[in-house]
Amino acid sequence: MKFFEPLRDDLMVQQQITNSWEHMVGVIMLNQTGRKPVKMTLPEFLYWFPTPNALIAADEDFVKSILEPLGMANVRYKRLVQMSRDYLTWNGEDATMLYGIGKYGSDSYEIFFKQNYSVEPTDKELKRYLQEETHA
């Protein structure tokens, strides 16, 4: 069995991923789940499914087995696969055009990938991050 190093606890998930697809995966994983289980699960998920196409082509039961610790594996699987399909033709502008991505995901994308600090998030962690970044 392979050991996957969890993401760092002192940084937000969004600060530890490398591209916008990984960002959207993290956002969907964070929905109705605490950050600690996501930080344990995301590295393994991205090891097995490093791209949207890898996830789309993957065995459904295998994907769900990795998502199981987060709860709602069936719902997450559906959201992740449909978001990944959408991502392949997405223009990179409005993140809410991707299946399963709402205000939190859109705000997070604006902040971490577009460096748009003028968004007004309702999420307390995004608010805290923005405050630290704009008052540093």
Quick check: 136 pLDDT over 80? no
Residue 131 carries which side chain, given as an amino acid letter? Q
| One-character DSSP codes across 46-75 | HHH--SHHHHHHS-HHHHHHHHGGGS-HHH
Q: What angle do CA 84, 88, 93 make, to 5 degrees?
A: 95
What pLDDT band is residue 134 in, cutting at 50, 70 and 90? confident
Provide the annotated active-site residues: 123
Residue ranges of domains in the chain, CATH in brackets? 15-134 (1.10.340.30)
pLDDT at 88: 98
Closest CA to 111 of 91, 134, 89, 84: 134
Do residues 24 and 83 make contact, with C-beta atoms less than 8 angstroms apart? yes
Q: CA-to-CA distance for 27 and 49, rounded, in angstroms?
A: 16
| Global confidence as pTM | 0.93
Q: What is the DSSP letter of 5?
A: P
Do residues 116 and 134 make contact, with C-beta atoms less than 8 angstroms apart? no
Mean pLDDT of 74-100: 98
Q: CA-to-CA distance for 83 and 10, rounded, in angstroms?
A: 28
Placement of tokens 């344990």 in the chain: 40
pLDDT one-digit tens code per residue, 8-57: 988 888 998 999 999 999 999 999 998 999 999 999 999 999 999 999 99
